[in-house]
Chain A
Amino acid sequence: MRLRPGAAALWWTMLCSGCSAADRDDRGAPLLPPASTAGLVPTGDLAGGLDRGAGIRSPYTEAADQQAVYDGEVLYNQMNCVDCHGYQGQGNMCPSLVDGEWLFGDSPVDQFNSVYAGRAKGMPAYGKLLPDDSIWKIVAYLEALKTRHDKKPDTQ
């Protein structure tokens, strides 16, 4: 059994169980945890050997669940994935998520395990911070990003 710090569990109960559209302010910007809160929560740093194996499955199948994709985008921003992997997933100080190259496998389960357990070259282990359901939502967003990128190359 993994132990999550109490602060993390409480925080997620308050802010992100579901992360629905109601969690946005009137300008549509996602609500964020207080700036002083998230830093108290360790992301974990031990990568590898702790993933959940191949016998897990996303509750959000295909691209049908748009709410999961939406919630996943909110989490992608809140968890600072965005500044590392880019505002369209095109990569920044961390690898691109839309270039078709997957160092650790491209299946949803592979992606879940990368987020959950971290990877050796600096990807934090979010399994200590996020409930499984939230990680699956991030994975749903990553799947959607891939599709968007295939359809519409970055035109910025």
Chain B
Amino acid sequence: MLTCFALATACSSEPDGKRTEVRGGSAVRATPSVASGGAQPPDDGQWTTQAKTVTGWRYSGLAEIDTASVKGLREAWSFSTGTLRGHEGAPLVVGSTMYLVTPFPNTAYAIDLAASVQPAVKWRFDPNPQQRAVGKACCDVVIRGWAYADGKLIYNLLDAHTVAVDAATGKEVWRTPMDDVKRGATMTMAPLVVGDKVIVGNSGGEMGVHGWLAALDVATGREVWRAFVTGSDSLVRLDSTFRPYYEALRQPNLGVSTWPPDEWARGGGASWGWVTYDSTQHLIFYGTSNPSPWNQEQRPGANLFTAAILARDPDTGMARWAYQTTPHDEWDYDGVNENTVLDLPVGGAGQPDVPVIVHFDRNAFVYVIDRRNGRVLSATPFQALNWADSVNLATGLPHVREDKRTWQDKWTRNICPNALGAKNHPPTAWSPRTRLLYAPTMNLCMDFKARPVSYIAGTPYWGAETKTVVGPGGHRGELLAWDPVARRKVWGVTEKFPVHSGVLATAGDVVFYGTVEGDFKALHARTGALLWSKRLSSGIIGAPMTYRAPDGKQYVAVLSGIGGVMGLFKGEAGYPPQGGTLHVFALP
């Protein structure tokens, strides 16, 4: 789930001088027709789920701030969260109220945007999660998002509870224990609400947890179903309706048979990333983490269904299909990144658009997958990649390079990408106007040595040492504009540090993201040209969002507050001080 050691000096190794930035490339395209999904309904000005849409688009139809006016953006107000650790996630705006939640101790705030003079805190909720959770979280004590439904703010606590708070009063409505923090399970992911259920999952792929995804009743917090990622078919919730495209995934009890005896029960596969939803298929899509431990020699087999993407019925939790992006993962290539729901013309000339998900994996392939059955339509490298040569679309299997496999007590050198992946959990944005995905990516490689490890409950079940080196080109991050149909980069903007913020795309053809140094940037969505930038009070690993306030103006908001896995770079020149602040911008 993360990589750990000795970044500062290793990452100063000499770049090869080749810059991949193609800023200013000719990316201008015609606005697509109505039939291809270009016309959007008028934007309601709210931002009620982490990606604004359950399809994971992170696109707003607001266009007051556009490529011409964005240069006039000014900070309208700011708000200290009072918390030091890494600030991930996007504020929600529902009606005239903004909601945000801090990293541990997971304090929630409601901010009244209609207050007469300045936005003002309406209520504050302190859930007081158990302190012991701090030492069980692998990658800082973050929270990656929160949800709103049925008059409640719903989110996960680091100590593996899900809590619902009355959005009007800030009073706790329910709190459901979901896992055992004493055994290393935490919860950091952003819930997704589908109908009357809220979907949540656990974290702890480095702690030997038993990964699961569950649905709770929004009204009561009662658990409706829980689907584990390993174990028997009944635990994984597989039955005759499970029809993955690839034959090899249709065998019974793969969640047991692809593991050594009993290892599946502590095999990781946590669902700590994003959940998206397609109302047409009535399916949710999500990914599962690396298998535990990182030492692959201790778990021969494919280790299903870790490092995989699954589609489930949100009402029952029964799986419809699965696809394993990294079978028998040896590099910490979690499959948890977002699955953006799109209809794309990838079926050939004259054919109707194909219902797909697009998934930028840690393993540096971007997958276009038929969301009806899990068939991989394309798998294309989007950053430095050498652990595999290609993905066989007939079998779905990557062709792994033998010289990049990892071993116990032996260093394997220069594996790309590194354990953080070519893209981590910070989510992409999709613009239906440009028909491009905007992806925050990383350009890192690694040396890897596994070590034997025993399972001791509540301690890391990890078993690997890694050293990170900078990837080809000498930069460590790149904001990519990617055409998922042509399967190519249209433009990219390189950064010194990995790009580890979410991305926002708007109808004004502006793309917003932030850097580790704390620069909040606005780019031209079609060319990548830098239109505006502002240095904030700390680094940005949160996700920008935009809304229309009661005063009728468009605002853009982002949390700053460095941390998360970017803490690996602490001490380097340019790495900013900690501290969580919400920054809100508008035109004068």
- A residues whose Cβ falls under 8 Å from a Cβ of B: 27, 29, 32-39, 41-43, 45, 47, 77-84, 86-88, 90, 92-94, 119-124, 129, 154-156
Give the A-B pair count, Cβ closer than 8 A.
100
User: Are A43 and B453 touching (Cβ within 8 A)?
Assistant: no
Cross-chain contact of A124 among B6, B139, B459, B463 (Cβ < 8 A)? B459
Q: With a 10 A CB-CB cut-off, give which of B4, B139, B455, B456 has the most chain A CB atoms.
A: B456
Cross-chain contact of B453 among A41, A83, A124 (Cβ < 8 A)? A83
Complex Cα spacing A70 to B456, Å: 22
Q: Name the B residues within 8 Å of A81 (CB-CB).
A: 459
A-contacting residues, B232-281, CB 8 Å: 262-263, 266
User: Are B132 and A83 touching (Cβ within 8 A)?
Assistant: no
Please classify the interface of chain B as helix (H, G, I), strand (E, B), loop, or mixed, using the class held by over half of its residues.
Answer: loop
User: Are A156 and B457 touching (Cβ within 8 A)?
Assistant: no
Q: Name the A residues within 8 Å of B465 (CB-CB).
A: 87
Complex Cα spacing A121 to B10, Å: 31
User: Are A36 and B456 touching (Cβ within 8 A)?
Assistant: no
- Smallest beta-carbon distance A96→chain B, Å: 11
User: Are B5 and A122 touching (Cβ within 8 A)?
Assistant: no
Chain B interface size, as a band, is: 35 or more
Residue B400 at the A interface, CB < 8 A? no
Complex Cα spacing A45 to B133, Å: 11
Residue B500 at the A interface, CB < 8 A? no
Q: Name the B residues within 8 Å of A123 (CB-CB).
A: 135
16 cross-chain CB contacts under 8 A: A39-B266, A39-B454, A39-B455, A43-B456, A45-B132, A45-B458, A77-B451, A79-B459, A80-B456, A83-B462, A93-B460, A122-B133, A154-B6, A154-B9, A155-B9, A156-B6
Q: Name the A residues within 8 Å of B138 (CB-CB).
A: 93
User: Are B454 and A84 touching (Cβ within 8 A)?
Assistant: no
User: Are B9 and A86 touching (Cβ within 8 A)?
Assistant: no
Residue B127 at the A interface, CB < 8 A? no
Residue B527 at the A interface, CB < 8 A? no
Complex Cα spacing A32 to B137, Å: 25
Q: Name the A residues within 8 Å of B131 (CB-CB).
A: 120-122
Residue B409 at the A interface, CB < 8 A? yes
- Smallest beta-carbon distance A33→chain B, Å: 5
Q: Name the A residues within 8 Å of B136 (CB-CB).
A: 122
Known A29-B409, A94-B135, A121-B134; contact A37-B454, beta-carbon cutoff 8 A: yes
* A125 to chain B: closest residue by CB: B458
Complex Cα spacing A119 to B136, Å: 12
Complex Cα spacing A37 to B134, Å: 26
User: Are A43 and B459 touching (Cβ within 8 A)?
Assistant: yes
Complex Cα spacing A93 to B9, Å: 20
Q: Name the B residues within 8 Å of A29 (CB-CB).
A: 409, 452
User: Are A122 and B132 touching (Cβ within 8 A)?
Assistant: yes
* B455 to chain A: closest residue by CB: A39
Known A86-B5, A87-B465, A120-B132; contact A43-B452, beta-carbon cutoff 8 A: no
Known A35-B298, A36-B262, A122-B134; contact A87-B5, beta-carbon cutoff 8 A: yes
* A27 to chain B: closest residue by CB: B409
User: Are A39 and B409 touching (Cβ within 8 A)?
Assistant: no
